[in-house]
Structure 1
Amino acid sequence: MELGQPRQRMVLAALAANAGRLMTVDALVDRVWDDTPPDTARSTLYSHVSRVRRVLDDAARGEDGTADHPPLQLARVSGGYLLRAADDSIDLLRFRALVGRARGLRPDDAECGRLLADALDLWRGSPLADLPGAWAERTRTAWLNERLEAALQWARSEAATGHASQAIGRIRALSDEFPLAEPLAALLVRSLAQAGRTAEALDHYAEVRRRLADELGSVPGVELRTAYKEALRDRPLPGTGTEPGPASGGTRTAPSRPAQLPFDVRAFTGRKEQLDELSQHLLSSGEGTDATNTVVVSAVSGTAGVGKTALAVHWSHRVREQFPDGQLYADLRGYDTDEPVSAADVLTGFLVALGVPGPEIPLRPDDRSARYRTELSERRMLVVLDNASSSEQIRPLLPGATRCRTVVTSRDVLSSLVSLHGAHRLVLDVLPPADAVHLLSRLIGPRAAAEPQAAAVLAEQCGRLPLALRIAAELALARPASPLSALTAELDDRRSRLELLDSDDDPRAAVRAVFSWSYDRLPPEAAAAFRLLGLHPGPDVDAYAAAALCGRPVDETRRTLDLLARSHLIQPTRPGRYGMHDLLRVYAAWQAERHDGPADRETALDRLLTHYLAASCAAMDVLFPAERHLRPRIPVPRTELPPFPDEAHAKEWLAAEHAVLTAVTATEAGRGRAEHAVGLSTTLHRHFDSRGLFTDALVIHGNALRAARAAGDRRGEAEVRTCLGTTHRRLAQYDEAVRHHTESLALCRRIGLPVTEARNLTNLGVLHELRGQYREAAQRHGEAVVLFRKVGDIGGEADTLNNLGIVHELLDDYETSAEQHRQALALFRSLGHAFGEASALGNLGIVLSRLDQHATAAEHFEQALALFRRLGHRGGEAHALSNLGDAHHRLGHHQEAATRQRAALALFQRTGERYGETGSLNGLGEALHGSGQPDEAATAHRAALALAMEIEEKEEQARAHIGLARIHQDSDDLATARGHWQDALALYSAIGSPRAAGVSESLATLETRQQEDTHSPDCA
């Protein structure tokens, strides 16, 4: 039908968009004329409305001229106009109805996909395409977003039902229409990869990444990057048909199955109704129903010690077999005296437990949470979030997967979690009298049955709180000759005296009385240890740290810890480690304030932090003995350090104490001190770097930086910024790395720190080199060499010569490069610096390979590989394997080269070193091309190109273009080959690489061949 001029069509569009609802005259005027209506707007509007009504009436009449039930009726009502519409008369309404029905179905339900496909089929071009004005533009954008969301939902449904390949056409068309929609791009990348079209998937990723950079100045978000990495890792390896996995290059390892639940509770009693309620809400509901998958176990009136954790842990142990993919547990320490554990830190631990390599853990908390939900999306797991302080703390930790179940314990009722996320609240009160007495009977034995009245009184004196009941039972067992009635009389007297001491009405008075009763029975040394343990900033403690905190011998401290554990004042968390209930921690700190002066408490904390710093130095001395001189000078601890007879024990201690060391560095800033946090940051830097624990490193370095700045420690700030810069560089965050090194460099020059100044100079040189700025890199390294020699730092000099040799190799000055690497190698060997020796061997091997001494180069790479493996340095091992692969390729051993590159690639992917990953992908492409597998080789080079573009690594971009050029040239696709040669030439020219000359020569040869082919006569 003919709808007339644009303003008249605008009136109909506004009414249709609001079909079934009143549109006031003012609203219609605003939509038709935006903010600048003419004086005659209302009278003009009435004319438009009248014409629209006639158009609708004419359209509704049949051939006989009647229209009993017109699909659209425009009526004048009080205050405005109302367009009445039949259910199927407006496509927008039909579309929304279909999408709404689909949202009520599971994605793997075929009906879901059919409904969404029908909804998408209703679209014809762009809505309101020829209508002007701001309202039309806003509405058009909103409707297109609705369509995009429906398309994403449809594509996910197709993937869930195994029809991803059939959906590619429509997804590609939508992606062409919305070229910057990252969720759509991620779906297309995944669908292409699942269909075996990996090269197309990688090409599409590269194209979207280029568009984002050119049009928005941004980089792909976590969802698109994850899809890209999945395409790389899940594809069959070129030429093998197998999937990439660990260093062997074999099949992928099985998913991690964490089992993090704490020990089950001994003599758990009662709570049958609550256990049943948990099971009803978390187990009896099938997947895909409207039932909640989260239960909040909340104590009434904020009561602590009521047994929330015991209930959650006991129930979790009972049902653990129903969660075959494992159980995650975190104590969020919501009501400790220190700050609660952040969701970001918990997510890091969960992702590591789920098998995500440390370097792959996103830095932004939101991205980290998204990755966590992605990891859980296909698993059936139980997540226990214990002792939460608020809904905000736990919201990022909730799985998105409907197959997972979550139990949260908190003193808070967490109302927003219930109202916004549909969680079920289970309120836990004190034990009923009968259950409280029964628990005492199980713990004490026949004495409770012999004195039922006294047992009942004791239960009431403990407030029927399980924590207090267990402590009281232990005291009763420790005095077997005393009747229970004597104990209750004594406890009653103690409670009275405590109530006199407390001017406020503390609801925990009963608990404090029981604690005091138990505490006062402790020997003086044990009581002092209990008080000081309340000051410990971490989640748990071992005997060595406890001994340092208390200033006592380790053997004596072990006996004290055993006594406190038997008294239920601390509890075992892992073999040899102990934690403390937060209520007991508050009580211990209260007793410390009463009995230990501020100076004594500070001295105890100093002993503890010095212990952790000294133990960290000792562990690192075992792992990296040649770098002892770089570690901070600290006083010899008064107490014994844990033994580190070998590297395995050192690594085990560092892993066990990781959460504690993080808490220690966070504590320093609050004390206005920085020496321990800075010392731990600089001491542990090599450990984090060698293990690829870059996200963990940023947390500890960040804590140390805050402590240094709070304390005004400029030297510490300079040293920590150096560590931060190196860590950001390893994560390919070059701008952030430059910022930290530049700020540290300025501080060093201001206050006179020549060694740290030199370290920053050579690190800036490495960053220049990674960006293809070779002359600037050589200048920075040269300045660093001069400084290191001036202060006599042989290790620093060797490191910088090693870096300088790399730059001269890239400048094709091979003789100078080889000499610098040989000098570095000699210096490293004189120091017994195995890591430096391995690095210099590898770099020298690269130069020898450039000089066509490939067999000798391979020998150097083998030596480097053996050293890196002995050191457990996975990054170095990966580089050695990749270099060895390159050498075998040049020797003509293409299959061996491919095997080495696959092993290197798997290691780089596990450690998250993307620069190394690009090199191994290019090396794999070259090896496969050499063995006659051009298609598989092209896939590897395209993957390398996409990744190198993402991290702005120009050298490997050029290498990928050269590899693709050679493949296309061999297949006589000379036009495509020419394009890749030109791209490689442009990249080398941009960075001033002398290799541009060789590429220019290859390009000229190709162009000559093209001209000869053009002028060749046809053959008869």
Structure 2
Amino acid sequence: MTDQAVDAGGANPSGDDRSPAAPERHFLGRARELKELRADIARAGLDTISGRKAPRARVLLVAGRPGSGRTALAEELVRQVADRYPDGVLRARLTEPDGTPVPVGRTAGELLTALGLPAAPGAAEDDLTDALRTALAERRVLLLLDDAAGAEQVDALLPDNADCLLVAVAQGPLTGIADVRPCTLGGLDTKSALDLLTQHIDPVRVTVDPRAAENLVEVCQGQPAALTLAGGLLAAHPEETVSDLAKRLHADTAESAPLARVLHLVHADLPKSAARMLRLLALAPAGDVDPHTASALAGTSLDGARPLLDRFAALGLLRPVPSPLPRYEVPGCLHPLLLALAEREERPAELQLARARMLERTVRLLQSCRAVTETDSPQTREKLKNLPPALRFADPRAAGQWLRSRRAALLAAARLAVADGELDTLARRLMSQLVRAMVAHLGTQAAAGDLYGIHGLVLDVAERQRLPREQAAALLNLADLDARTGRTAKALARYRAALDAGRVANDPYATGRAMESVGAAHQELGDHDRAADWFGRALAQRLARGEHADAARLYGRIAAAHTYAGHYGEALRNWRAAVAAHRRTGDVAAHARALSELARVQEYAGRPEECLRTCQEAVEWARRAEDVRLQAALQLRLGDTLERLGDPAAAQLHRGAAERLLAGEIRPGQAPVTAGAEAPRVDTSQEQDGEACEIRSTSAED
């Protein structure tokens, strides 16, 4: 059967911390295969035989049909040899439950995260795989890649380190990877197959009719998945003999494959409501099922879904996932069979309605997950009170645990909703709430990789539905993440596209932010003249709309661009405009910082006397704003300026004042006083046109 995807534990919105009890299972059989695989680890490869050191990790392949126990064998091998790899075991599944190959870049990013290393959001696949190989070059790890769709996926993730081991699970050979050691699985031997049956039923039912039991094993072709379902079916019907079940399987000609034949009997044996829920579980994102997902898909109550899921687990139809919250996994070998049942038994409209109910429930859970972090808002508290108890979280910590445990399923739900193409409204709501919940609980930086993927999905929907406002927002968010990770040229192209979309939508916020961001990208690329031009365009829009605070900030950005370009005259003019604008808006701290930057440019322009007067004024405004660090920086600048003007004694006084400010000896808002002497005194009684009079330094003896 397929690999168990074990996520971090989560919290149950309803407060029920009951986790499904996983039945005790022991690995059975495959002794010969395990011995051969262990021997292959140490066996010399072709490179070693030819006298060269092996440049890459040893690759072991466990090949077999779904349901053959291929992942169980790989996991048992990993358990037996894991102690040889002190840097740990990394696991990844390379195929979605519906058979879609997982992009290599996504897998590489998740493996980097598992190693505790940053994965740049939106990075190219080659960059991520190179980063992974670099990280594994100095580590001794065991890498288990389950359900590989092809050799290309495995080869891209193969470590360039002979001290590592890669165990791949696939249906066929990995043609193209050198020196792969394959282990092809058939059915279990008869003894192991009978032992597997007795894990589910009373051994007496096997021993009283051993020939019938062997016949059942033969009908199931020794496949562990088929035998597990057969054992579950016998356990559910104590009155039925092993011989009876074997005869029923022989008589059933609707399916040819053993696993499909047993599943057909199990499905037919269930009540109609339970059978319907079972086949609809094939729609669960990432094959991850909890009571909320199951009840929403089937349109039943939450309390009614829980016992049914436990029943499915007892039958071997679901695999319990270790978690404080009841969670299960649809085995990968059963997923395509359940999906085929659903498509055969349900009308397309019913399947679409089931998906819509599931997405709607997910949206409401995400809303609750985010809202529980905003308890300081009376409106939010009222909304939480109106939610059904099953959708509430006990506290923000429980909501965060639920979000982390369901992360893979939530992201898969967003991808499936967008790929569906007919549920775009729900998809947009889902992605909006998912972004807000992730930012609230994880933070923008920690969730950047996931957010990049979500914004890309939002862009797909916006382009498909011709929604220019949402298209502009998605492009801006993607461009911001590109810019933050150093892909400035790509960010610039997206900012320009966002500007075009914002103009089509007649959205002044999007166009203003896009123009400013285009300017910032040009500045990052070193084109300061273009940066100033784009900042000027954004400024004109802000002034036309009466947005004075933003206009004041943009004056500063224009001035900074001119400063970098060496156009000090234009820079001074714009900094003075910024000072005046901040004064009009009453932003004392911004006023002080603008004066500080004006003084800096005056210093660059070779005007020390003007710099001195502006610094004096900036110090006073920084004191009023109680900005200690800015006060200290200005005191140091005053000291440097006085030093150049030939007054070292006054310069020393200002530097001493800066040191006391940073040491906390001077309280915020308090004028600095130098030890043993009167501090440099600011005389503002004769202030004219925004410029203060000279700075005088007097000793205590005067």
Q: Aligned match of 1:812 in 575, 584, 590?
A: 575
Distance 1:423 1:627, change over 3 A: farther
TM-score by length of 2: 0.71
Query: How far 1:701 sits from its partner (Å)?
Result: 2.0
Given the superposition, is the C-alpha separation of residues 289 and 475 from structure 1 closer, same or farther in structure 2, using an over 3 Å criterion?
A: farther
- 848 and 376 in structure 1: CA distance in 2 versus 1, 3 angstrom threshold: farther
Partner SS state of residue 385, structure 1: strand
Name the CA shift for 1:323/1:337 in 2 (closer, same or farther; >3 Å). Answer: same
Q: Give the whole-Å Cα distance in 2 for the aligned partners of 1:618 and 1:785.
A: 40
- C-alpha spacing 1:521/1:613, structure 2 compared with 1 (3 Å): same
Q: Is the partner of 2:344 in helix, strand or coil?
A: helix
Indicate the residue corresponding to 1:902 in structure 2: none
Task: State how far apart, in whole Å, the 2-side matches of 1:765 and 1:620 are.
Answer: 34
Identity among equivalent positions (%) equals 26
1:308 corresponding residue in structure 2: 70
Letter in 2 for 1:465: Q
Runs (5+) with no aligned partner, structure 1: 1-257, 500-505, 630-636, 790-796, 826-840, 862-883, 893-926, 932-1020
- Residue 132 of structure 2 is aligned to residue 372 of structure 1: yes
Given the two structures, how large is their TM-score scaled by the length of structure 1?
Answer: 0.50
The answer to whether the Cα contact below 8 Å between 1:722 and 1:760 also exists between their aligned partners in 2 is: yes
Does the 8 Å contact 2:8/2:405 carry over to 1? Answer: no
Contact kept? 2:122, 2:453, Cα under 8 Å: no
Matched, 1:333 2:88: no
Q: Which residue of 2 aligns with 1:515?
A: 263
Distance 1:515 1:628 in 2: 52
Corresponding residue for 2:14?
Answer: none
Q: CA deviation at 1:412?
A: 1.8
The one-letter code of the counterpart of 2:87 is D
Do the aligned partners of 2:619 and 2:631 also contact (CA within 8 Å) in 1?
no
Match of 2:459 in 1: 705
Q: Which residue of 1 aligns with 2:235?
A: 477
How far apart are the structure 2 equivalents of 1:769 and 1:639? 51
1:610 aligns with 2:360: yes
Structure 2 stretches of 5 or more lacking a match? 10-21, 380-385, 561-573, 598-617, 637-654, 660-702
Q: Alpha carbons of 1:818 and 1:404: their partners in 2 closer, same or farther (altered >3 Å)? A: farther
Distance 1:523 1:259 in 2: 30
Q: Which amino acid aligns with 1:852?
A: V
Which of residues 202, 207, 211 is equivalent to 1:453?
Answer: 211
Alignment of 1:80-119 (within 5 A): none
Shift of 1:344: 0.9
| 1:527 counterpart (265, 268, 275) | 275
Structure 1 residues 715, 428: closer, same or farther in 2, change over 3 A? same
Query: Among residues 549, 552, 558, which one is paired with 2:300 in the alignment?
Result: 552
Distance of aligned partners of 1:722 and 1:621 in 2 relative to their CA distance in 1, 3 Å threshold: farther
The aligned counterpart of 1:567 is: 315
Distance of aligned partners of 1:846 and 1:553 in 2 relative to their CA distance in 1, 3 Å threshold:
farther
Q: In structure 2, how many angstroms separate the alpha carbons of the residues matched to 1:283 and 1:641?
A: 54
Could you tell me how far apart the structure 2 residues matched to 1:341 and 1:853 are?
60
The CA deviation at 1:317 is 1.8
Residue 801 of structure 1 deviates from its aligned partner by: 6.6
Match of 2:498 in 1: 744
Residue number in structure 2 paired with 1:277 = 36
Residues 119-164 of structure 1: CA deviation (Å, up to 9, x unaligned): xxxxxxxxxxxxxxxxxxxxxxxxxxxxxxxxxxxxxxxxxxxxxx
| Structure 2 counterpart of 1:342, one-letter code | P
Matched to 1:483, the amino acid is: T
**Shift in Å, 1:392:** 1.4
The equivalent residue for 1:346 is 107
| Structure 1 contact 327–383 (Cα < 8 Å) conserved | yes
**Which whole-Å CA distance do the structure 1 matches of 2:620 and 2:289 have between them?**
55
SS of the aligned residue for 1:807 comes to helix
Q: Is the 8 A contact 1:619 1:650 kept in 2?
A: yes
* Corresponding residue to 1:735 among 473, 480, 489: 489
Distance in 2 (CA, whole Å) between partners of 1:264 and 1:856 is 69
Counting only pairs closer than 5 Å after superposition, residues 359-438 of structure 1 correspond to structure 2 as 359=120, 363-417=123-177, 421-438=178-195
- Provide the C-alpha distance between the structure 2 equivalents of 1:844 and 1:544, rounded to a whole number of angstroms: 54
CA distance, structure 1, for counterparts of residue 59 and residue 399 of structure 2: 40
SS of 1:812 mapped into structure 2: helix
Q: In 1, Cα distance between the equivalents of 2:523 and 2:586?
A: 20
Q: 1:260 to 1:295 in 2, by over 3 A?
A: farther
Q: What secondary structure is seen at the aligned counterpart in 1 of 2:198?
A: helix
The residue type equivalent to 2:102 in the other structure is V
How big is the shift at 1:376?
A: 0.9
Over 3 Å counting, the alpha-carbon distance change for 1:591 and 1:319 in structure 2 is: same
Given residue 664 of structure 1, which amino acid in structure 2 is its aligned partner? A
CA contact (8 A) 1:677 1:703 kept: no
- Using a 3 Å threshold, how does the CA distance of structure 1 residues 765 and 658 change in structure 2: closer, same or farther? farther
Q: Hey, what's the Cα distance between the residues in 1 that align with 2:246 and 2:278?
A: 24
Q: CA offsets per residue over residues 628-651 of structure 1, 9 Å max, x none? A: 99xxxxxxx998775345443444
Equivalent in the alignment of 1:659 = 408
Determine helix, strand or coil for the equivalent of 2:276.
Answer: helix
Alpha carbons of 1:442 and 1:658: their partners in 2 closer, same or farther (altered >3 Å)?
Answer: closer
With over 3 angstroms needed to count, the CA separation of the structure-2 counterparts of 1:710 and 1:669, relative to structure 1, is farther
1:398 Cα deviation from its structure 2 partner: 1.3
Q: Distance in 2 between matches of 1:378 and 1:848?
A: 51
Deviation at 1:821, TM superposition (A): 7.9
CA RMSD of aligned residues (A): 4.0
The CA distance in 1 between the partners of 2:505 and 2:498, in whole Å, is 11
The offset of 1:294, in angstroms, is 0.9
The SS at the match of 2:134 is helix
Deviation at 1:465, TM superposition (A): 0.5
Greater helix proportion: 1
Contact 2:499 2:511 survives alignment (8 Å)? yes
Whether the 8 Å CA contact 2:372–2:396 is kept in 1: the answer is: yes
Taking the aligned partners of 1:683 and 1:333, their CA distance within structure 2 comes to 27
SS of 1:691's partner is coil
1:836 maps to: none
CA deviations over 1:388-433 (Å, ceiling 9, x no partner): 111112221111121111110011212222xxx3211111111122
Shift of 1:593: 1.3
Matched AA of 2:261: A
SS at match of 2:619: coil
Other-structure match for 2:63: 298
Structure 1, 289-298 or 737-746: larger mean CA deviation: 289-298
The 1:283–1:650 alpha-carbon spacing in structure 2 relative to 1, beyond 3 Å, is: farther
Equivalent position SS for 1:304: coil
Report the Cα distance in structure 2 between the residues aligned to 1:788 and 1:621, rounded to whole angstroms.
Answer: 34
Q: Give the SS at the match of 1:520.
A: helix
- What is the CA distance between 1:666 and its match in structure 2? 2.7
Could you list the per-position Cα deviations for residues 269-318 of structure 1 after superposition, in whole angstroms to 9, with x for gaps in the alignment?
1000111122112257699965961101111xxx2200001111122122
Q: Give the structure, 1 or 2, with the largest relative contact order (CA under 8 Å, sep 6 or more).
A: 2
Cα separation, 2, equivalents of 1:289 and 1:271:
32
How many residues are treated as equivalent by the alignment? 566
Letter in 2 for 1:352: T
Describe how 1:503-902 pairs up with structure 2 within 5 A.
506=256, 508=257, 510-575=258-323, 576=325, 577-622=327-372, 642-673=391-422, 674-685=424-435, 687=438, 690-764=444-518, 766-767=520-521, 772=528, 773-774=531-532, 776-777=534-535, 779-781=537-539, 783=541, 800=550, 804=554, 807=557, 810=560, 812-813=575-576, 815-816=579-580, 818-819=582-583, 851-852=618-619
Contact 1:454 1:488 in 2 (8 A): yes
The 1-side partners of 2:581 and 2:551 are apart by: 9
Distance 2:211 2:190 in 1: 12
1:372 Cα shift?
Answer: 0.2
Helix, strand or coil: the match of 1:269? coil
Partner of residue 439, structure 1: 196
Note closer, same or farther for the CA distance 1:888–1:453 as it changes in structure 2 (3 Å cut): farther
The amino acid of 1:424's aligned partner reads R
Asked if the contact 1:762–1:803 (Cα under 8 Å) also holds between the matched residues in 2, the reply is no
Q: Deviation at 1:624?
A: 7.1
